[in-house]
Homo-oligomer: A and B are copies of this chain.
Amino acid sequence: MFALASISRLGRASASARARASAALSIRGFALTAEKYPSVKRGDYAKLTDEDLGKFHSILNPNQIITDAADLAAFNQDWMKKYAGQSQLVLKPKTTQQVSQILKYCNERKLAVVPQGGNTGLVGGSVPVFDEIVISMAGMNQIRSFDENSGTLKVDAGVILENADNYLAERGYIFPLDLGAKGSCFVGGNVATNAGGLRLLRFGSLHGSVLGLEVVLADGTIVDSMHSLRKDNTGFDLKQLFIGSEGTLGIITGVSILCPARPKAVNIAFLGLESYEHVIQCFKEARSDLGEILSAFEFMDRDSQLVASKFLKTTHPLCQEDEVAEASVPEYPFYVLLETSGSNKDHDDEKLEKFLEKVMENEVVVDGTVSQDEAQLKTLWTWREGIAEASQQFGGVYKYDVSLPLDSLYKLVEETQERLKSFSLASTEDESKPVYEAIGYGHIGDGNLHLNVAVREYNKEVEKALEPFVYEFIEKHNGSISAEHGLGFQKKNYIGYSKSEVEIKMMKELKNHYDPNGILNPYKYI
């Protein structure tokens, strides 16, 4: 009998471990992107002059303009310390009008810009490659309005996702998107990269939930499409073009989004399984038996839990009491974190209980624990959400956030591990090897795999072993080389693995149409 009351084994994972992230992040030096990728040449853009600076001072207050080298650093480098630009200027507009004036001027002058949100992307999309002017959206951080009848939220693009969600929580609503970086990422950046996150399974994609956008085009034109209607069929749905355009067609300054009622009951089950096939089987049964309350179905392989364990330095939720030891993880090769969110606690409990009894009985699941208490929920989620930071602890990480059909999804992890080992590049023991380990986890419910190759150093030999191997595998299995985060700088040259020539040609035409001078986020995307 697997009852919801058995929550005893939880609550030991230390949340404070997350604070050690930044220390781990800065243990290595990093090279300029332009030096690491010498084949990428600076475009024929104007160079910043004193006159330009004077112009920007006429638009913005002094505290909205950053030119000090020390202050610029954080805007020039990405979260993974993999990409580093050389921008000499960061502008922080506070209004849509200011964004418009800045872009109009940059377009006339042919000054390249890179729009930047919370800078939490993983493909180098939000940092400069050369000397592009950074337009940080951090100054546009106001919630504009909320309609409690319809659940329509209107915000500035620079509102932090977690702030938006906290605001909604007080009103009984929830932001239809959640992801690990919620404490730093901006809503505008989420939309610009078409973020999917942890609860896409339940709340769907931003293409469905975004009702309107405010966008500034390259020439400074303000497109006010901050509509709030759930149904509006009057002409082409222009906003869709900007969702996932990564700042290459315009800068998103405002977002209108439909928010669902906040679930009244949330349950989590953390399960141990004997094989990847059991993970798929478990997902199918969950989708059938938990139906409309299933809000997340995440899988993690054992290696990902070992890496997390080394970082969190706490005992794994499925370890027995008598196994308590630092960084221990049980022997199950796969783990699942499953979440339900519903409007009636008793019903949800009963559905989950019946489901767990069934999958334990037919041996799809061999071990597990459940939790409904807020603090315990967070702790369990740490073993899934903490993997991203934990993968960095040895020095760096090559991250592939990709889509694959379920039957070939985990095979990519296995083949990558074999490949790295056959090239003698990987070892968890031997510190002379550049790669620590390749690990796999992700959103099974969306066919979304995170393949993280945890490395001791960024290294050309490793990169060559991984690319285009990973992309070729994905193309062969009809996947997408980017399930999240977009193309950015990292995947610019690989779009052909997921899109046809006709599609790429159409995209290039659109880019040329909206940004003929190519000032918006150059060297990236397509």
Q: Are B403 and A510 in contact (CB under 8 A)?
A: no
CA distance A243 to B280 in the complex (A): 32
Contacting residues, chain B, for A12 (C-beta < 8 A): none
Contact yes or no, B351 A343, CB < 8 A: yes
A197-230 CB contact bits vs B (8 Å, 1 = yes)?
0001000110111000000000001111101111
* Pair A403/B288 contact, Cβ less than 8 Å: no
Quote the shortest CB–CB distance from A114 to chain B (angstroms): 18
Contact partner, A291, options B147, B208, B263, Cβ 8 Å = B263
Contact call A232/B351, Cβ cutoff below 8 A: no
- Produce 1/0 per residue, A484-504, CB < 8 A to B: 111100010001001110111
Residues of chain B within 8 A (CB-CB) of A350 are 347
In the complex, the count of this chain's copies comes to: 2
**A149-B405, A240-B207 known; A233 vs B292 contact (CB < 8 Å):** no
Q: How far is the CA of A386 from the CA of B486 in the complex (A)?
A: 46
Q: Which residues of B contact A379 (CB under 8 A)?
A: none
* In the assembled complex, A448 has its CB within 8 A of some CB on chain B: yes
Give the distance to chain B from A360, nearest Cβ to Cβ, in Å: 19
Q: Which of A250-290 contact B (CB under 8 A)?
A: 261, 263-264, 280, 284, 287-290
A234: chain B residues at CB < 8 Å are 480-482, 486-487, 491, 495, 498-499
| Contact in complex: A228, B478 (CB < 8 Å) | yes
Establish whether residues A406 and B287, one from each chain, have CB atoms under 8 Å apart when the complex forms: no
A200 engages B244 (CB within 8 Å): no
Q: Roughly how many angstroms separate A193 CA and B231 CA in the complex, as a whole number?
A: 12
Given A200-B230, A209-B208, A241-B244 contact (CB < 8 Å): no
Chain B residues lying within 8 Å of A229, measured Cβ to Cβ, are 403, 447, 479-480, 483
A235 with B200, Cβ < 8 A, contacts A150-B405, A208-B207, A228-B478 known: no
Asked if A233 meets B503 with Cβ closer than 8 Å, knowing A241-B241, A288-B261, A407-B149, the reply is no
- Closest Cβ neighbor of A284 among chain B residues: B149
Q: Is the CB of B237 within 8 A of A207?
A: yes
Contact between chains at B502 and A233 (CB < 8 Å): no
Identify the closest chain B residue to A248 (Cβ).
B236
Distance in angstroms between the alpha carbons of A283 and B292 in the assembled complex = 19
Residues of B near A162 (CB, < 8 A) are none
- Whether A503 contacts B225 in the complex (CB less than 8 A), given A194-B237, A291-B263, A448-B230, comes out as yes
Distance between Cα atoms of A502 and B226 in the complex (Å): 13
Nearest CB in chain B: distance from A500 CB, A: 6
Residues of A within 8 A of B (CB): 147, 149-150, 172, 193-194, 196, 200, 204-205, 207-209, 221-225, 227-238, 240-241, 243-245, 249, 261, 263-264, 280, 284, 287-293, 341-344, 347, 350-351, 403, 405-407, 443, 446-448, 478-487, 491, 495, 498-500, 502-504, 506-507, 509-510, 513, 525-526
Across the A-B interface, give the 5 residue pairs with the lowest CB-CB distance, nearest first. Answer: A208-B208, A291-B343, A240-B240, A231-B483, A232-B480
28 contacts between A and B (CB under 8 A): A147-B405, A149-B405, A172-B288, A194-B233, A196-B231, A204-B208, A205-B230, A208-B209, A222-B502, A224-B500, A225-B500, A228-B478, A229-B479, A229-B483, A230-B446, A230-B447, A231-B448, A231-B484, A233-B487, A234-B482, A234-B498, A235-B499, A235-B503, A235-B507, A236-B245, A288-B343, A292-B342, A344-B351
